[in-house]
Amino acid sequence: MKTTRPKNAILAALVGAMACTTAATFASETADEPWQFGVTVPLWAPQITGNVTTKGVQRDVDISFDQLKDHLDASLSLAMDIHKGKFGIYGDVGYMKFTGEPKGPRGGQGNFELKFLIADAGVSYLLVKTESEHRFLLAGTLGVRYWYVNLYLTARDPDGNILVNGSNSRDLLDPMVGLRGSQYVTRKLHLDLAGDVGGFGMTDNQADLDWSTTGVVTYDFVKWFSLSAGYKALAIDSSKGSGAHKNGLDLIFHGVLIAANFNF
């Protein structure tokens, strides 16, 4: 079966949910303030670069966002955080579904359905906060990132005979450690940076390396609402086996990010 088109769409599923946590969020300024809640609704337009290895054969990957969105059927992502004093709890989840009808060998037809889920959860602690007009905040984060992908694929020859009919799924659970920082330019305008790294391949259900980085400019229109715009990259490097039995991927997802932030 010809694999170029379905593989591009399969890789597309590793994209949409990955941008749930967008801008850095921090604890309230004093311990005696009430608990505060934040909700972020992101919109990410990434592309994919890197390589994929299947049964020992490595193929380069370079897929634009325009190619990804052609196969997108459903997308949902949401991030939330709760914080008080220097301590915070965060979580985010994203889901995407892709479908397509790739051509099989000798003019045959096929179809695929791919579902993808990614979720982050963890805690944050405010490490640095300067008291000035152009204040600076820095927080450390510790958490986990969960990946899940499920693929159903069929292929038929020109006479309608089934050549491929099956499904496969994979999940990973990676420990993550990171930093989030905000530099205020004015009272309402600030630059937010966030990054984390994890995986480390300590078990079969962990990536060899898993990292993300985000940089956005945020404007606080009112106390409860702000908009962020910038760039996000997320990468995963995971492989199993060796030689002709090696399967894996080494991919970077990167693109423009816009997010609406609500605080209560």
Residue 207 pLDDT exceeds 70: yes
For 97-116, write each residue's pLDDT tens digit.
877 765 655 555 667 777 87
Residue 27 pLDDT exceeds 60: no
Cα separations in angstroms, 219 against 24, 56, 185, 233: 13, 48, 10, 21
Amino acid at 208: D
For the chain, how many structural domains are there in total?
Answer: 1
Which tokens sit at 10? 């399969």
Residue 23 pLDDT exceeds 90: no
Name the residue range of residue 41's domain: 4-263
For 152-202, write each residue's pLDDT tens digit.
767 676 776 766 666 667 788 999 999 999 999 999 999 999 999 998 887
Which tokens sit at 112? 């695929």
Q: Return the pLDDT at 247.
A: 77
| Residue whose structure tokens are 């939330």 | 80
Mean pLDDT for the chain overall: 80
Instruction: CATH number of the domain at 34, please.
Output: 2.40.128.100
Highest mean pLDDT among 32-36, 148-152, 169-173, 243-247: 169-173
* pTM: predicted TM-score of the whole model, two decimal places: 0.78
Residue among 63, 67, 71, 119 at smallest CA distance from 97: 71
Once rounded to an integer, what is the mean pLDDT over residues 48-63? 79
Share of the chain above pLDDT 90, in %: 36
- Using the CB atoms, write b or e for 172-198: b if 16+ within 10 Å: bebbbebbbbbebeeeeebbbbbbbbb
For 113-129, write each residue's pLDDT tens digit.
778 788 999 999 999 99
Cα separations in angstroms, 9 against 25, 37, 116, 188: 33, 36, 12, 40
Burial class (CB in 10 A: 0-12, 13-18, 19+), 109: middle
For 65-97, write each residue's pLDDT tens digit.
887 777 778 888 899 999 888 999 999 988 878
Q: Are 140 and 122 in contact (CB under 8 A)?
A: no
Residue 15 pLDDT exceeds 80: no
Which tokens sit at 32? 């005696």
Q: Return the pLDDT at 182.
A: 94
Q: Are 118 and 147 in contact (CB under 8 A)?
A: yes
Once rounded to an integer, what is the mean pLDDT over residues 42-62? 80
Q: Return the pLDDT at 227.
A: 96
pLDDT band at 21 (very low <50, low <70, confident <90, very high): very low
Span between the terminal Cα atoms of the chain, in Å: 53
pLDDT band at 9 (very low <50, low <70, confident <90, very high): very low
Query: What dihedral do alpha carbons 181, 94, 19, 92 form, nearest 10°?
Result: 0
Q: Return the pLDDT at 43.
A: 86
For 131-155, write each residue's pLDDT tens digit.
888 899 999 999 999 988 777 767 6
pLDDT band at 233 (very low <50, low <70, confident <90, very high): very high
DSSP string, 25-71: ----SSTTSPPEEEEEEEEEEEEEEEEEEETTEEEEEEE-HHHHHTT
Burial class (CB in 10 A: 0-12, 13-18, 19+), 162: exposed
Q: Return the pLDDT at 167.
A: 66
Q: Return the pLDDT at 95.
A: 85
Q: Are 6 and 113 in contact (CB under 8 A)?
A: no
Q: Return the pLDDT at 116.
A: 79
